[in-house]
Structure 1
Amino acid sequence: MISKLKQHYRNPTFLYLESYLLFIGLPMVAWYAGMRLPMFITLWCLSVLCMVYIHLAEGTTFRQEWNWGAVNRQNLRIILLRFAILGPLLAAISYLLIPERFFAFPRERTPMWCMVMALYPILSAFPQEILYRSYFFHRFKSVHGKKVWRTLVVNGMIFGFVHIVLKNEVAVILSAIGGVMFAHTYYKTRSLALVTLEHALYGNWIFTVGLGWYFYGIAWGHAPVTH
Protein backbone atom coordinates (compact mmCIF):
# COMPACT_ATOMS: atom_id res chain seq x y z
CA MET A 1 0.00 0.00 0.00
CA ILE A 2 2.72 2.47 1.04
CA SER A 3 4.92 1.49 -1.91
CA LYS A 4 2.02 2.07 -4.30
CA LEU A 5 1.41 5.50 -2.79
CA LYS A 6 5.10 6.36 -3.22
CA GLN A 7 5.00 5.24 -6.84
CA HIS A 8 1.89 7.32 -7.44
CA TYR A 9 3.48 10.30 -5.70
CA ARG A 10 6.48 10.09 -8.03
CA ASN A 11 4.42 9.48 -11.16
CA PRO A 12 5.33 12.01 -13.91
CA THR A 13 1.68 12.99 -14.37
CA PHE A 14 1.35 13.68 -10.66
CA LEU A 15 4.60 15.66 -10.67
CA TYR A 16 3.47 17.83 -13.59
CA LEU A 17 0.14 18.47 -11.85
CA GLU A 18 1.89 19.34 -8.60
CA SER A 19 4.33 21.70 -10.31
CA TYR A 20 1.47 23.42 -12.14
CA LEU A 21 -0.59 23.91 -8.99
CA LEU A 22 2.38 25.07 -6.91
CA PHE A 23 4.27 27.24 -9.37
CA ILE A 24 1.46 28.44 -11.66
CA GLY A 25 -1.86 27.98 -9.90
CA LEU A 26 -0.90 29.39 -6.51
CA PRO A 27 0.67 32.60 -7.91
CA MET A 28 -2.41 33.11 -10.11
CA VAL A 29 -4.69 32.78 -7.09
CA ALA A 30 -2.51 35.22 -5.16
CA TRP A 31 -2.52 37.66 -8.08
CA TYR A 32 -6.28 37.43 -8.55
CA ALA A 33 -7.04 37.72 -4.83
CA GLY A 34 -4.59 40.57 -4.37
CA MET A 35 -2.98 38.85 -1.36
CA ARG A 36 -0.18 40.89 0.21
CA LEU A 37 0.63 40.31 3.85
CA PRO A 38 -0.15 36.53 3.82
CA MET A 39 2.49 36.02 1.13
CA PHE A 40 5.39 35.88 3.59
CA ILE A 41 3.50 33.49 5.84
CA THR A 42 2.61 31.29 2.87
CA LEU A 43 6.21 31.34 1.64
CA TRP A 44 7.59 30.30 5.01
CA CYS A 45 5.00 27.57 5.52
CA LEU A 46 5.77 26.14 2.08
CA SER A 47 9.52 26.32 2.65
CA VAL A 48 9.23 24.41 5.94
CA LEU A 49 7.12 21.73 4.28
CA CYS A 50 9.64 21.52 1.44
CA MET A 51 12.54 20.98 3.85
CA VAL A 52 10.55 18.28 5.65
CA TYR A 53 10.00 16.56 2.30
CA ILE A 54 13.67 16.81 1.34
CA HIS A 55 14.65 15.26 4.66
CA LEU A 56 12.04 12.49 4.82
CA ALA A 57 11.70 11.54 1.15
CA GLU A 58 15.21 12.27 -0.11
CA GLY A 59 17.14 11.47 3.06
CA THR A 60 18.96 14.80 2.93
CA THR A 61 19.58 16.61 6.20
CA PHE A 62 19.40 20.39 6.43
CA ARG A 63 23.14 20.52 7.04
CA GLN A 64 23.78 18.59 3.83
CA GLU A 65 21.40 20.81 1.89
CA TRP A 66 22.88 23.97 3.40
CA ASN A 67 26.34 22.80 2.31
CA TRP A 68 28.38 25.66 3.73
CA GLY A 69 31.52 24.03 2.37
CA ALA A 70 30.59 25.30 -1.10
CA VAL A 71 30.89 28.87 0.16
CA ASN A 72 34.57 28.92 -0.73
CA ARG A 73 36.93 31.33 -2.44
CA GLN A 74 36.47 29.82 -5.89
CA ASN A 75 32.66 29.94 -5.88
CA LEU A 76 32.53 33.36 -4.24
CA ARG A 77 34.94 34.66 -6.86
CA ILE A 78 32.60 33.52 -9.64
CA ILE A 79 29.60 35.15 -7.98
CA LEU A 80 31.41 38.42 -7.29
CA LEU A 81 32.87 38.65 -10.80
CA ARG A 82 29.40 38.15 -12.25
CA PHE A 83 28.01 40.77 -9.88
CA ALA A 84 30.76 43.20 -10.93
CA ILE A 85 29.18 43.11 -14.40
CA LEU A 86 25.49 42.82 -13.55
CA GLY A 87 25.51 45.15 -10.54
CA PRO A 88 26.34 48.30 -12.56
CA LEU A 89 23.91 47.14 -15.25
CA LEU A 90 21.09 46.97 -12.71
CA ALA A 91 22.04 50.41 -11.42
CA ALA A 92 21.90 51.78 -14.97
CA ILE A 93 18.48 50.20 -15.52
CA SER A 94 17.24 51.80 -12.32
CA TYR A 95 18.54 55.21 -13.37
CA LEU A 96 16.90 54.92 -16.79
CA LEU A 97 13.52 53.67 -15.54
CA ILE A 98 13.05 55.61 -12.30
CA PRO A 99 15.81 58.24 -11.93
CA GLU A 100 13.91 59.93 -9.10
CA ARG A 101 14.36 56.78 -7.00
CA PHE A 102 18.01 56.14 -7.87
CA PHE A 103 19.70 55.38 -4.50
CA ALA A 104 16.79 57.21 -2.82
CA PHE A 105 16.06 54.39 -0.39
CA PRO A 106 19.40 54.46 1.51
CA ARG A 107 19.53 58.27 1.33
CA GLU A 108 16.01 59.11 2.43
CA ARG A 109 15.08 56.15 4.64
CA THR A 110 18.39 54.99 6.04
CA PRO A 111 17.07 53.11 9.12
CA MET A 112 14.52 51.24 7.01
CA TRP A 113 17.17 50.48 4.39
CA CYS A 114 19.49 49.05 7.06
CA MET A 115 16.66 46.86 8.34
CA VAL A 116 15.92 45.56 4.84
CA MET A 117 19.61 44.83 4.24
CA ALA A 118 19.71 42.77 7.43
CA LEU A 119 16.37 40.98 7.18
CA TYR A 120 15.83 40.39 3.46
CA PRO A 121 18.43 37.58 3.21
CA ILE A 122 16.82 35.69 6.11
CA LEU A 123 13.11 36.42 5.75
CA SER A 124 12.81 36.42 1.97
CA ALA A 125 15.81 35.11 0.01
CA PHE A 126 16.30 32.05 2.21
CA PRO A 127 12.75 30.59 2.04
CA GLN A 128 12.52 31.43 -1.66
CA GLU A 129 15.66 29.41 -2.34
CA ILE A 130 14.32 26.46 -0.36
CA LEU A 131 11.17 26.38 -2.46
CA TYR A 132 12.45 27.36 -5.89
CA ARG A 133 15.86 25.74 -5.86
CA SER A 134 16.17 23.03 -3.21
CA TYR A 135 12.66 21.61 -3.50
CA PHE A 136 12.43 22.11 -7.26
CA PHE A 137 15.65 20.23 -7.99
CA HIS A 138 14.97 17.45 -5.48
CA ARG A 139 11.31 16.91 -6.26
CA PHE A 140 11.22 17.29 -10.03
CA LYS A 141 14.60 15.86 -11.04
CA SER A 142 12.96 12.79 -12.59
CA VAL A 143 10.81 15.00 -14.83
CA HIS A 144 13.61 17.13 -16.26
CA GLY A 145 16.29 14.46 -16.35
CA LYS A 146 19.64 15.46 -17.82
CA LYS A 147 18.35 18.37 -19.91
CA VAL A 148 20.22 20.89 -17.80
CA TRP A 149 19.62 24.16 -19.61
CA ARG A 150 15.95 23.40 -20.15
CA THR A 151 15.67 22.79 -16.41
CA LEU A 152 17.43 26.06 -15.62
CA VAL A 153 15.23 28.03 -18.00
CA VAL A 154 12.05 26.44 -16.66
CA ASN A 155 13.16 27.23 -13.12
CA GLY A 156 13.83 30.84 -14.08
CA MET A 157 10.45 31.14 -15.79
CA ILE A 158 8.47 29.87 -12.82
CA PHE A 159 10.50 32.07 -10.48
CA GLY A 160 9.68 35.05 -12.65
CA PHE A 161 6.04 34.02 -12.91
CA VAL A 162 5.45 34.02 -9.16
CA HIS A 163 6.28 37.72 -9.19
CA ILE A 164 3.09 38.47 -11.15
CA VAL A 165 1.64 39.14 -7.69
CA LEU A 166 3.61 42.42 -7.81
CA LYS A 167 1.66 43.43 -10.92
CA ASN A 168 4.48 44.87 -13.01
CA GLU A 169 6.58 43.44 -15.80
CA VAL A 170 9.91 44.73 -14.48
CA ALA A 171 9.75 42.52 -11.37
CA VAL A 172 8.77 39.50 -13.47
CA ILE A 173 11.55 39.95 -16.04
CA LEU A 174 14.31 40.65 -13.53
CA SER A 175 13.20 37.72 -11.38
CA ALA A 176 13.12 35.35 -14.35
CA ILE A 177 16.67 36.27 -15.35
CA GLY A 178 17.83 36.05 -11.75
CA GLY A 179 16.05 32.72 -11.40
CA VAL A 180 18.08 31.16 -14.21
CA MET A 181 21.28 32.46 -12.64
CA PHE A 182 20.39 31.20 -9.16
CA ALA A 183 19.31 27.85 -10.58
CA HIS A 184 22.68 27.50 -12.30
CA THR A 185 24.52 28.28 -9.06
CA TYR A 186 22.48 25.71 -7.14
CA TYR A 187 22.79 23.08 -9.86
CA LYS A 188 26.58 23.45 -9.95
CA THR A 189 27.16 23.54 -6.18
CA ARG A 190 24.09 21.96 -4.54
CA SER A 191 24.52 24.57 -1.84
CA LEU A 192 21.49 26.29 -0.36
CA ALA A 193 23.87 28.53 1.56
CA LEU A 194 25.72 29.78 -1.52
CA VAL A 195 22.62 30.41 -3.63
CA THR A 196 20.93 32.21 -0.71
CA LEU A 197 23.95 34.50 -0.40
CA GLU A 198 23.87 35.21 -4.13
CA HIS A 199 20.13 35.88 -4.06
CA ALA A 200 20.58 38.19 -1.07
CA LEU A 201 23.40 40.05 -2.81
CA TYR A 202 21.26 40.90 -5.83
CA GLY A 203 18.12 41.48 -3.79
CA ASN A 204 19.82 43.95 -1.48
CA TRP A 205 21.45 45.71 -4.41
CA ILE A 206 18.11 46.01 -6.21
CA PHE A 207 16.60 47.65 -3.14
CA THR A 208 19.60 49.93 -2.79
CA VAL A 209 19.70 51.30 -6.35
CA GLY A 210 15.94 51.92 -6.48
CA LEU A 211 14.61 48.93 -8.41
CA GLY A 212 13.17 47.64 -5.16
CA TRP A 213 10.30 50.02 -5.90
CA TYR A 214 9.02 47.43 -8.36
CA PHE A 215 9.16 44.79 -5.64
CA TYR A 216 7.79 46.65 -2.62
CA GLY A 217 5.84 49.61 -4.08
CA ILE A 218 2.81 47.47 -4.84
CA ALA A 219 2.87 45.99 -1.34
CA TRP A 220 2.29 49.50 0.02
CA GLY A 221 -0.48 50.21 -2.45
CA HIS A 222 1.55 52.30 -4.89
CA ALA A 223 1.82 51.56 -8.58
CA PRO A 224 5.33 51.81 -10.00
CA VAL A 225 5.75 54.19 -12.90
CA THR A 226 7.88 53.28 -15.90
CA HIS A 227 9.17 55.86 -18.34
Structure 2
Amino acid sequence: MIVGDKGPPPPPTITAMTSDAPPAAGLQAHGSLPVAPRLPVRRLRLVAEIGLFYLCLPLLYAHLIQTYRISLIVLMQPLLLALLAYLLWSRDFSLQREFSRGVSGRVVAGIIGLFVLVAGAISAWVSINEPGGFLSFPLYNTRMWLLVMVFYPLLSVLPQELAFRSFFFHRYGPLFGDRLWLLALVNGALFGFAHIIYGGPVSIILSGALGVLLAWRYARTRSLRAIWLEHALYGQMIFTVGLGRYFFTGVSTLQ
Protein backbone atom coordinates (compact mmCIF):
# COMPACT_ATOMS: atom_id res chain seq x y z
CA MET A 1 0.00 0.00 0.00
CA ILE A 2 1.34 3.42 -0.97
CA VAL A 3 0.56 6.21 1.47
CA GLY A 4 0.91 9.81 0.35
CA ASP A 5 1.96 12.76 2.44
CA LYS A 6 -1.63 13.86 2.95
CA GLY A 7 -2.86 10.54 4.24
CA PRO A 8 -5.58 8.29 2.83
CA PRO A 9 -8.47 9.91 0.93
CA PRO A 10 -11.72 10.46 2.85
CA PRO A 11 -14.48 7.87 2.43
CA PRO A 12 -17.12 8.62 -0.21
CA THR A 13 -20.18 10.51 0.97
CA ILE A 14 -23.59 9.00 0.35
CA THR A 15 -26.33 11.57 -0.21
CA ALA A 16 -29.93 10.59 0.37
CA MET A 17 -32.46 11.51 -2.28
CA THR A 18 -35.35 13.58 -1.03
CA SER A 19 -38.90 12.87 -2.11
CA ASP A 20 -39.03 15.93 -4.37
CA ALA A 21 -35.87 15.11 -6.28
CA PRO A 22 -36.53 14.26 -9.93
CA PRO A 23 -36.03 10.66 -10.95
CA ALA A 24 -33.22 9.62 -13.20
CA ALA A 25 -33.54 10.96 -16.73
CA GLY A 26 -34.12 7.53 -18.21
CA LEU A 27 -36.99 6.81 -15.84
CA GLN A 28 -38.87 10.09 -15.83
CA ALA A 29 -41.71 9.01 -18.10
CA HIS A 30 -41.89 5.47 -16.79
CA GLY A 31 -44.36 4.06 -14.33
CA SER A 32 -43.79 0.90 -12.35
CA LEU A 33 -42.73 -0.84 -15.57
CA PRO A 34 -39.06 0.11 -16.18
CA VAL A 35 -38.75 -0.92 -19.83
CA ALA A 36 -40.74 0.29 -22.83
CA PRO A 37 -42.53 -2.51 -24.70
CA ARG A 38 -40.49 -3.49 -27.76
CA LEU A 39 -42.97 -5.64 -29.68
CA PRO A 40 -45.12 -3.54 -32.07
CA VAL A 41 -48.16 -5.66 -31.27
CA ARG A 42 -47.75 -4.95 -27.57
CA ARG A 43 -47.39 -1.22 -28.19
CA LEU A 44 -50.43 -1.13 -30.47
CA ARG A 45 -52.48 -2.97 -27.87
CA LEU A 46 -51.55 -0.44 -25.21
CA VAL A 47 -52.41 2.46 -27.53
CA ALA A 48 -55.75 0.79 -28.30
CA GLU A 49 -56.41 0.45 -24.58
CA ILE A 50 -55.81 4.18 -24.11
CA GLY A 51 -58.30 4.94 -26.86
CA LEU A 52 -60.86 2.57 -25.37
CA PHE A 53 -60.57 3.62 -21.73
CA TYR A 54 -59.86 7.34 -22.08
CA LEU A 55 -61.72 8.29 -25.29
CA CYS A 56 -64.50 5.79 -26.01
CA LEU A 57 -65.59 5.29 -22.42
CA PRO A 58 -66.10 9.03 -21.68
CA LEU A 59 -68.12 9.33 -24.91
CA LEU A 60 -70.27 6.38 -23.86
CA TYR A 61 -70.78 7.83 -20.39
CA ALA A 62 -71.71 11.22 -21.85
CA HIS A 63 -74.31 9.54 -24.05
CA LEU A 64 -75.78 7.53 -21.17
CA ILE A 65 -75.93 10.57 -18.90
CA GLN A 66 -77.39 13.01 -21.41
CA THR A 67 -79.75 10.58 -23.16
CA TYR A 68 -80.86 8.19 -20.44
CA ARG A 69 -80.23 10.44 -17.42
CA ILE A 70 -78.14 7.82 -15.63
CA SER A 71 -76.26 9.12 -12.63
CA LEU A 72 -72.50 9.46 -12.95
CA ILE A 73 -72.11 7.86 -9.53
CA VAL A 74 -73.90 4.74 -10.75
CA LEU A 75 -71.80 4.58 -13.91
CA MET A 76 -68.50 5.01 -12.10
CA GLN A 77 -68.94 2.25 -9.51
CA PRO A 78 -68.15 -0.79 -11.72
CA LEU A 79 -65.28 1.06 -13.39
CA LEU A 80 -63.68 1.98 -10.07
CA LEU A 81 -64.07 -1.57 -8.77
CA ALA A 82 -62.39 -2.94 -11.90
CA LEU A 83 -59.57 -0.40 -11.58
CA LEU A 84 -59.01 -1.24 -7.93
CA ALA A 85 -59.03 -4.96 -8.69
CA TYR A 86 -56.38 -4.49 -11.39
CA LEU A 87 -54.11 -2.43 -9.17
CA LEU A 88 -54.41 -4.96 -6.36
CA TRP A 89 -53.80 -7.87 -8.72
CA SER A 90 -50.84 -6.36 -10.57
CA ARG A 91 -47.58 -7.90 -9.37
CA ASP A 92 -45.41 -4.87 -10.10
CA PHE A 93 -47.68 -2.27 -8.53
CA SER A 94 -48.25 -1.68 -4.83
CA LEU A 95 -51.10 0.46 -3.52
CA GLN A 96 -49.35 0.59 -0.17
CA ARG A 97 -46.22 1.98 -1.80
CA GLU A 98 -48.30 4.42 -3.84
CA PHE A 99 -49.98 5.85 -0.75
CA SER A 100 -46.84 5.79 1.38
CA ARG A 101 -44.71 8.04 -0.84
CA GLY A 102 -44.41 11.30 1.02
CA VAL A 103 -44.17 14.85 -0.23
CA SER A 104 -41.49 17.31 0.84
CA GLY A 105 -42.11 20.74 2.29
CA ARG A 106 -40.61 22.34 -0.81
CA VAL A 107 -43.12 20.60 -3.07
CA VAL A 108 -46.01 21.58 -0.80
CA ALA A 109 -44.80 25.19 -0.79
CA GLY A 110 -44.68 25.15 -4.59
CA ILE A 111 -48.19 23.71 -4.79
CA ILE A 112 -49.60 26.31 -2.38
CA GLY A 113 -47.76 29.20 -4.02
CA LEU A 114 -49.00 28.37 -7.51
CA PHE A 115 -52.51 27.72 -6.21
CA VAL A 116 -52.70 31.14 -4.54
CA LEU A 117 -51.77 32.86 -7.81
CA VAL A 118 -54.19 30.85 -9.96
CA ALA A 119 -57.04 31.00 -7.44
CA GLY A 120 -56.62 34.75 -7.13
CA ALA A 121 -56.74 35.23 -10.89
CA ILE A 122 -59.80 32.99 -11.35
CA SER A 123 -61.61 34.59 -8.41
CA ALA A 124 -60.99 38.05 -9.84
CA TRP A 125 -62.25 36.98 -13.26
CA VAL A 126 -65.44 35.42 -11.87
CA SER A 127 -66.18 38.40 -9.61
CA ILE A 128 -65.91 40.77 -12.59
CA ASN A 129 -67.52 38.72 -15.36
CA GLU A 130 -70.04 36.64 -13.39
CA PRO A 131 -70.70 38.66 -10.22
CA GLY A 132 -74.06 36.98 -9.59
CA GLY A 133 -72.47 33.57 -9.21
CA PHE A 134 -69.36 34.60 -7.32
CA LEU A 135 -69.31 32.80 -3.93
CA SER A 136 -73.01 31.98 -4.34
CA PHE A 137 -72.52 28.33 -3.40
CA PRO A 138 -71.01 28.86 0.08
CA LEU A 139 -73.25 31.87 0.77
CA TYR A 140 -76.64 30.46 -0.23
CA ASN A 141 -76.18 26.71 0.10
CA THR A 142 -73.69 26.50 2.92
CA ARG A 143 -74.58 23.01 4.09
CA MET A 144 -74.13 21.44 0.65
CA TRP A 145 -70.94 23.43 0.12
CA LEU A 146 -69.50 22.06 3.36
CA LEU A 147 -70.38 18.52 2.30
CA VAL A 148 -68.60 19.06 -1.02
CA MET A 149 -65.53 20.48 0.70
CA VAL A 150 -65.32 17.45 3.00
CA PHE A 151 -66.21 14.57 0.68
CA TYR A 152 -65.01 15.82 -2.72
CA PRO A 153 -61.31 15.04 -2.06
CA LEU A 154 -62.11 11.47 -1.00
CA LEU A 155 -64.99 10.46 -3.28
CA SER A 156 -63.99 12.32 -6.45
CA VAL A 157 -60.36 13.44 -6.42
CA LEU A 158 -58.78 10.22 -5.17
CA PRO A 159 -60.50 7.91 -7.71
CA GLN A 160 -59.60 10.32 -10.53
CA GLU A 161 -55.95 10.41 -9.54
CA LEU A 162 -55.76 6.63 -9.23
CA ALA A 163 -57.26 6.29 -12.72
CA PHE A 164 -55.46 9.10 -14.54
CA ARG A 165 -52.10 9.21 -12.83
CA SER A 166 -51.35 6.03 -10.85
CA PHE A 167 -52.89 3.57 -13.31
CA PHE A 168 -51.99 5.54 -16.45
CA PHE A 169 -48.33 5.94 -15.51
CA HIS A 170 -48.08 2.33 -14.38
CA ARG A 171 -49.72 0.85 -17.45
CA TYR A 172 -48.83 3.26 -20.26
CA GLY A 173 -45.87 5.31 -19.02
CA PRO A 174 -43.29 3.11 -20.78
CA LEU A 175 -44.82 4.04 -24.16
CA PHE A 176 -43.44 7.56 -23.78
CA GLY A 177 -39.85 6.66 -22.93
CA ASP A 178 -38.02 9.75 -21.66
CA ARG A 179 -40.43 12.26 -23.23
CA LEU A 180 -41.86 13.62 -20.04
CA TRP A 181 -43.37 16.65 -21.79
CA LEU A 182 -45.31 14.40 -24.18
CA LEU A 183 -46.57 12.24 -21.35
CA ALA A 184 -47.84 15.30 -19.46
CA LEU A 185 -49.55 16.74 -22.55
CA VAL A 186 -51.24 13.48 -23.54
CA ASN A 187 -52.33 12.69 -20.00
CA GLY A 188 -53.66 16.21 -19.48
CA ALA A 189 -55.53 16.18 -22.79
CA LEU A 190 -57.16 12.85 -21.96
CA PHE A 191 -58.06 14.09 -18.50
CA GLY A 192 -59.71 17.15 -20.01
CA PHE A 193 -61.53 15.09 -22.64
CA ALA A 194 -62.97 12.82 -19.95
CA HIS A 195 -64.92 15.84 -18.68
CA ILE A 196 -66.97 15.80 -21.87
CA ILE A 197 -69.56 14.08 -19.68
CA TYR A 198 -70.50 17.53 -18.37
CA GLY A 199 -71.52 18.69 -21.83
CA GLY A 200 -69.55 21.92 -22.17
CA PRO A 201 -66.15 23.25 -23.24
CA VAL A 202 -65.37 25.07 -19.97
CA SER A 203 -64.99 21.88 -17.94
CA ILE A 204 -62.85 20.30 -20.68
CA ILE A 205 -60.47 23.27 -20.97
CA LEU A 206 -60.05 23.85 -17.24
CA SER A 207 -59.62 20.14 -16.53
CA GLY A 208 -57.15 19.74 -19.39
CA ALA A 209 -54.94 22.52 -18.03
CA LEU A 210 -55.09 21.04 -14.54
CA GLY A 211 -54.40 17.57 -15.93
CA VAL A 212 -51.14 18.70 -17.54
CA LEU A 213 -50.03 20.24 -14.25
CA LEU A 214 -50.92 17.14 -12.23
CA ALA A 215 -49.25 14.79 -14.71
CA TRP A 216 -46.07 16.86 -14.62
CA ARG A 217 -46.15 16.97 -10.83
CA TYR A 218 -46.65 13.23 -10.54
CA ALA A 219 -43.90 12.48 -13.05
CA ARG A 220 -41.46 14.62 -11.08
CA THR A 221 -42.39 13.50 -7.56
CA ARG A 222 -44.12 10.11 -7.94
CA SER A 223 -46.22 11.27 -4.99
CA LEU A 224 -49.93 10.47 -5.02
CA ARG A 225 -50.29 12.62 -1.92
CA ALA A 226 -48.94 15.66 -3.75
CA ILE A 227 -51.35 15.48 -6.67
CA TRP A 228 -54.23 14.48 -4.39
CA LEU A 229 -53.67 17.69 -2.43
CA GLU A 230 -53.21 19.83 -5.53
CA HIS A 231 -56.27 18.46 -7.32
CA ALA A 232 -58.43 18.87 -4.22
CA LEU A 233 -57.38 22.51 -3.78
CA TYR A 234 -58.28 23.50 -7.34
CA GLY A 235 -61.54 21.56 -7.31
CA GLN A 236 -62.68 23.09 -4.03
CA MET A 237 -61.76 26.53 -5.34
CA ILE A 238 -63.81 26.00 -8.52
CA PHE A 239 -66.89 25.03 -6.52
CA THR A 240 -66.40 27.90 -4.08
CA VAL A 241 -65.97 30.79 -6.51
CA GLY A 242 -69.02 29.86 -8.58
CA LEU A 243 -67.79 27.70 -11.47
CA GLY A 244 -69.10 24.43 -10.06
CA ARG A 245 -72.09 24.48 -12.41
CA TYR A 246 -69.75 23.60 -15.27
CA PHE A 247 -68.93 20.35 -13.46
CA PHE A 248 -72.48 19.16 -12.89
CA THR A 249 -74.31 16.67 -15.12
CA GLY A 250 -77.76 17.76 -13.98
CA VAL A 251 -78.78 14.20 -13.11
CA SER A 252 -77.93 13.99 -9.42
CA THR A 253 -77.24 16.63 -6.79
CA LEU A 254 -74.62 14.32 -5.32
CA GLN A 255 -72.22 14.61 -8.26
Instruction: State the TM-score, normalized to the length of structure 2.
Output: 0.77
Cα distance in 1 for residues equivalent to 2:121 and 2:228 = 21
Work out whether residues 167 and 218 of structure 1, in 8 Å CA contact, stay in contact via their aligned partners in 2.
no
Work out whether residues 106 and 208 of structure 1, in 8 Å CA contact, stay in contact via their aligned partners in 2.
yes
Cα distance in 1 for residues equivalent to 2:65 and 2:153 = 24
**In the TM superposition, what is the alpha-carbon distance from 1:73 to its structure 2 partner?**
1.2
Equivalent of residue 124 in structure 1, options 151, 156, 160: 156
**In the TM superposition, what is the alpha-carbon distance from 1:44 to its structure 2 partner?**
4.4
Work out whether residues 156 and 178 of structure 1, in 8 Å CA contact, stay in contact via their aligned partners in 2.
yes
Cα distance in 2 for residues equivalent to 1:51 and 1:143 = 22
Aligned CA-pair RMSD: 2.3
Larger radius of gyration: 2
Change in Cα spacing, 1:168 to 1:176, as seen in structure 2 (3 Å) is same
More helix by share: 1
**In the TM superposition, what is the alpha-carbon distance from 1:60 to its structure 2 partner?**
2.5
Once the two structures are aligned, what percentage of the paired residues are identical? Answer: 34
Q: Which runs of 5+ in 1 are unaligned?
A: 1-6, 222-227
Cα distance in 2 for residues equivalent to 1:97 and 1:37 = 33
Cα distance in 2 for residues equivalent to 1:79 and 1:112 = 27
Equivalent of residue 54 in structure 2, options 18, 23, 32: 23
Aligned to 1:134: 166
SS, match of residue 22 in structure 1: helix
Instruction: State the TM-score, normalized to the length of structure 1.
Output: 0.86
Instruction: State yes or no: 1:56 paired with 2:89.
Output: yes
Instruction: State yes or no: 1:79 paired with 2:111.
Output: yes
Aligned to 1:114: 146
The Cα offsets for residues 60-112 of structure 1, whole Å up to 9 and x where unpaired, read as 32121113422x31111010011111111221232344321100000001111
The Cα offsets for residues 130-175 of structure 1, whole Å up to 9 and x where unpaired, read as 0001011000012111111111011110000011110111111000
Aligned to 1:165: 197
Q: Which runs of 5+ in 2 are unaligned?
A: 1-37
Work out whether residues 58 and 138 of structure 1, in 8 Å CA contact, stay in contact via their aligned partners in 2.
no
SS, match of residue 146 in structure 1: coil
Aligned to 1:66: 99
